[in-house]
Structure 1
Amino acid sequence: MALDVTVLRVFTNAVGDYGNPLGVVDASLVMPVDRQRVATELGYSETIFIDLPESGDSTTTAHIFTPMVELPFAGHPTVGASWWLKQRGTPVKTLQVPAGLVQVAYGQEPDGDVTEISARADWAPDFAMHQVDSVDDVLRADPDGYGDDGDYYVWAWTDESTGSIRSRLFASNLGVPEDEATGAAAVRITEHLSRDLSITQGKGSELRTSWSPDGWVKVAGRVVDDGIRRLN
Structure 2
Amino acid sequence: MSINKIRFSQADVFTGVPYKGNPVAVIIDGDQLTDTEMQAIANWTHLSETTFICSPTNPEADYRLRIFTPHEELPFAGHPTVGSARVALNNGIKPAHDGYLVQECGKGLVKIYINGDQLSFALPEPKISPVADELVSHVARALGLEDLSKITLTEMVDVGAIWLTMGLKSVQDVLSLDPQDEQLVKLLPTGTTGVTVFGPQTSADSDLEVRSFAPVEGVHEDPVCGSGNGAVAALIKEHHLLNKQKYIASQGQKMGRNGIINVDLDANDQILVGGHAVECITGQLLHP
TM range (shorter): 0.7 to 0.9
Change (3 A) 1:143 1:5: farther
Q: Partner amino acid for 2:21?
A: G
| CA distances 1:62-110 after superposition (whole Å, capped 9, x unpaired) | 11001111100001111111111111232332010010101022112xx
What is the aligned partner in structure 1 of residue 162 from structure 2?
126
Pairing 1:68-217 to 2, within 5 Å after superposition: 68-92=71-95, 93-108=101-116, 113-122=117-126, 123-144=159-180, 147-148=184-185, 149=188, 150=192, 151-158=194-201, 164-194=207-237, 195-203=245-253, 204-212=258-266, 216-217=270-271
Shift of 1:162: 9.4
Q: Residues 166-205 of structure 1, C-alpha deviation per residue, up to 9 Å, x if partnerless? A: 0110010111110011111111111111053311012221
CA distance in 1, matches of 2:175, 2:44: 29
SS in 2 for 1:127: strand
Letter matched to residue 184 of structure 2: G
Contact map agreement 2:195 2:213 (CA 8 A) in 1: yes
Rg larger in 1 or in 2?
2
The AA in structure 2 aligned to 1:35 is: M
1:154–1:169: 8 Å Cα contact kept in structure 2? yes
Q: Percent identity?
A: 26
Choose 68-77 or 222-231, whichever is displaced more. 222-231
Number of residue pairs matched by the alignment: 224
Residues 105-138 of structure 1, C-alpha deviations (whole Å, 9 max, x = no match): 2112xxxx11111121333333112222222222
Verify the 8 A CA contact 1:191 1:215 in the aligned structure 2. no
Contact 2:120–2:275 (CA under 8 A) maintained in structure 1: yes
> How far does residue 160 in structure 1 lie from its aligned partner after superposition?
10
Distance 1:230 1:162, change over 3 A: closer
Question: Residue 224 in 1 paired to residue 278 in 2?
Answer: yes
CA drift at 1:159: 5.2
8 Å Cα contact 2:17/2:278 also seen in 1: no
More strand by share: 1
CA RMSD, 1 decimal: 2.6
Asked if 2 retains the 8 angstrom alpha-carbon contact of 1:120 and 1:215, the reply is no
Mapped to 2, the partners of 1:58 and 1:30 lie a distance apart of 20
Shift of 1:15: 4.0
Give the secondary structure class of the aligned counterpart of 1:84.
helix
When residues 126 and 51 of structure 1 are mapped into structure 2, their CA distance, relative to the original with a 3 A threshold, is closer
TM-score normalised by the chain length of structure 1 = 0.86
